[in-house]
Structure 1
């Protein structure tokens, strides 16, 4: 019988696991939040991932459970483990991607480089932090934020009053995370794969470009990245994967600062937007690698196939008609670019697909990737 992987979440990350699964003879089952989601090409069901009974029923038909997102509650995850279900990444690791305060505290214990930070429960504590850090800081909600949501740059504690008010109304209470405002020259991402038995593989560090808090472009490997930077990023990624006990793909988002430091910004324990280039630019894509890792199969070679790879997200899509109306023109104008779409209806700011370009000349492939992606916008 084929190995069966259950993916909780029906988004584009689950969708992009399907092709490598088919090639490896692995069956994919998806627990989607609603019908018609990106991963509808896979077998599966629709249900509430916060409901223990629903997730348990789904998990009984698969060999391992993994995730398209990090939002499954800890109580659900720990119940699965208690019932003997293989869960990768497990709850002990996933909690550090779910709660940024837990993440910061654990990374500090591991000695990882990161911005100065604090847990603040009221405006007075936040103002004290601002006063001690040049009058500007980044405030984050510890849970639930993504693509720039739940993140604010503030110059005064009053700018987070609504978040403190929401905490006060929540019976669970809680705190916000505040971090020093880091002057950085660019953002980087380091991906690492780790299987249950401990084998680890690191991909090349990449440069990411964010627009309005959303990843817009990725350059692989990161241009102007010397050996010292490449080695430092890989060491950080591997140390975090091992220190947190991650199984599967781990993305470590990094800042390269104006004073030549590398600092950890965020973590994601799943395939990640910064690794979409690997579909066409690496010997083993992040999606195949994630499947191998969660099934504890030998990991694949993460090496680039070409000197350069560029990924450009298709954000929003055309105002009239679907993406398919633009396929022919994009293919004809840019035959070397690879198109990847998510089966989503266009909507302003929404990630509806991406394009990859690879080759020897970075300037040429950047042009091709950007121009092809632009054909899907109005």
Structure 2
């Protein structure tokens, strides 16, 4: 289908996943990196014509001669890491040794210098934290490091006067995964900070401290003709300045945050030349303001989830973009997803079990539904080295979080074992996980145990990732609404239960209704008595299905509430159940969930079968005991 060959500078884990995507489209890929066992080279067989060697290039992706050697073998060049020789790529392009380089070498060079990147984005009106150059704007190999260092120290003090403390001091180049950053907490730390970031041998800049609420990332694919498409915004959670987990889609009360994040990311990527996937990292500030942190001109760690969770992965879309193919859909194909990184927990030369401990979460994940393990084929282990990742998908945020927690617990335990030097228990090894899975599969008790009801606790009524919201105007309605909670608990549906008054807390009601979809809710059960405005007013503020429960009052026996709920005007639908029957409201909500998640339909059918069996049992007893049975009951 595609006759052109793609050359990639870099053959690490990103290149490996790019090669996987290319292989499905029969696209030939040639790689430039050191060694024959780099992660991407391991899975990309490319013998030369003589059969005596490989078409891949062994060498550094900053070596001009090696880049030219790769260019001689391919039609299009791209990158899996931005720390390449952009000047040589431009020369290769100018000499027409290849048809194209994506993204453009000028884009790569611009993004390599994070200060220049800030200036570029700022000049185009994109939101950033305040920043300032530190010391000389140009630091070269011939610059006097001692002179530069002193100038940078003075500039740090000036930045502190302008921005206050703490402030973030950053290296302009070679900064990633938390490297190249220094938190300056006082003027006295200026010299220490400059020394830690190159001692005058690298250009620096300072940023005003951004006390963000969460970190957000958006992957954007850009075609050679300038079309841009954004993937869903996701939340990234970092440990030690390295991405630990990613949660998709972004769940925040204000639905506008996700939309604005995608818009800002698309606007930013549209300012760069060339095609491919870009990773845009942002801070969400108090009040919902978004600030761009930095941009990567390549597939990104925060986009790994797209392999299992979206209609077209970031790697396939990168390939499509640089080859001029139609861009693929960036939409989620599952309701919820997460990704967790696997980083080296110890050095192989110091701990014989370093690899086994590091891969313990991977072993455990093999028995977690919805989990897909990606290992990168790296030999040995170093602490902090990226060794793999695990993607987890599911029908709800709650389900994904529960599955993720299993893997995360294994990681935490393995981390502690690596710190103490203790031996890895068998249950955290592949053999142990396999034995346990086999034992569960053969146990006749396994099915019953899985569906056992949990002990009642306050958490049952305020799940952090609810699918159903149960609301009422007053705690006096609680006795009527509790049966709905018990039914949802019986079906293992995550829910929240709270008070929202249409009359006494109208602002809270509006916020609750409008934020519900963005928070992951899929149905709302609203109990109301008397005037019973709550179900209708909530339905007027949200696109989610709303089920009203008429609450019996002291005057009109709930008929007034029922009439109020069922008399909604055209265009504002509200379902209603019988007076005081929140049980049916919960059952209807579960059926609504079942339209997208067959597991709830299966549970509903089992529930209906139980009711039928119960009635058949009564019929049998009535036939055996006669009318006397009814009297006794």
* Same structural fold, with TM-score higher than 0.5 when normalized by the shorter chain: yes
Which of 174, 185, 196 in structure 1 is aligned with 2:224?
196
Q: Does 1:131 align with 2:161?
A: yes
Alignment match of 1:314 (pick from 330, 342, 346): 342
* Cα shift readout 1:314-355 (whole Å, capped 9, x = no counterpart): 122585164697599525531421111101233222211111
Q: Which residue of 1 aligns with 2:73?
A: 61
2:377 pairs with 1:365: no
SS of 2:382 mapped into structure 1: coil
Aligned to 2:107: 93
**Between 340-349 and 292-301, the greater mean CA deviation after superposition:** 340-349
Distance 1:240 1:28, change over 3 A: same
Tell me, yes or no, if structure 1 residue 19 matches structure 2 residue 20: yes
Structure 1 residue 224: Cα displacement: 1.5
Q: What residue in structure 2 maps to residue 106 of structure 1?
A: 120
1:330 matched to which residue of 2?
364
Which structure would you say has the larger RCO, counting Cα contacts within 8 Å and 6 or more residues apart? 1
Is 1:82 the counterpart of 2:112? The answer is no
Offset, 1:95: 1.9
Structure 1, unaligned runs of 5 or more: none
Q: Would the alpha carbon gap of residues 325 and 233 (structure 1) be closer, same or farther in structure 2, given more than 3 Å must change?
A: closer
List aligned pairs for 1:239-258, cutoff 5 A: 239-258=267-286
Instruction: Tell me, in whole angstroms, the C-alpha distance in 1 between the residues paired with 2:192 and 2:87.
Output: 28
Asked if residue 156 in structure 1 is aligned to residue 156 in structure 2, the reply is: no
Normalised by the length of structure 2, the TM-score is 0.56
Q: CA deviation at 1:373?
A: 5.4
Shift of 1:163: 5.9
Larger radius of gyration: 2
CA distance in 1, matches of 2:5, 2:281: 30
What's the CA shift for 1:3? 2.6
**In structure 2, C-alpha distance between the alignment counterparts of 1:161 and 1:332, rounded to whole Å:** 49
Give the count of matched residue pairs: 375
Instruction: Spell out the pairing of 1:281-292 with structure 2 (5 A cutoff).
Output: 281-292=309-320
CA distance in 1, matches of 2:286, 2:362: 43
Query: After alignment, is 6-15 or 72-81 more displaced?
Result: 72-81
Using the alignment, how far apart are the partners of 1:338 and 1:168 within structure 2? 43
Deviates more, 1:94-103 or 1:113-122: 94-103
- Of residues 68-77 and 299-308 in structure 1, the stretch that sits farther from structure 2 once superposed is 68-77
Q: Name the residue aligned to 2:376.
A: 342
Give, in whole Å, the separation in 2 of the partners of 1:24 and 1:225.
40
Q: Is residue 300 from structure 1 mapped to residue 328 from structure 2 by the alignment?
A: yes
Q: Distance in 2 between matches of 1:243 and 1:212?
A: 31
- What value does the CA root-mean-square deviation take over the aligned residues? 2.2
Greater strand share, 1 or 2? 1
Query: Hey, what's the Cα distance between the residues in 1 that align with 2:260 and 2:307?
Result: 25
Q: Secondary structure at the match of 1:39?
A: helix
Between the aligned partners of 1:8 and 1:114, the Cα distance in structure 2 is 30
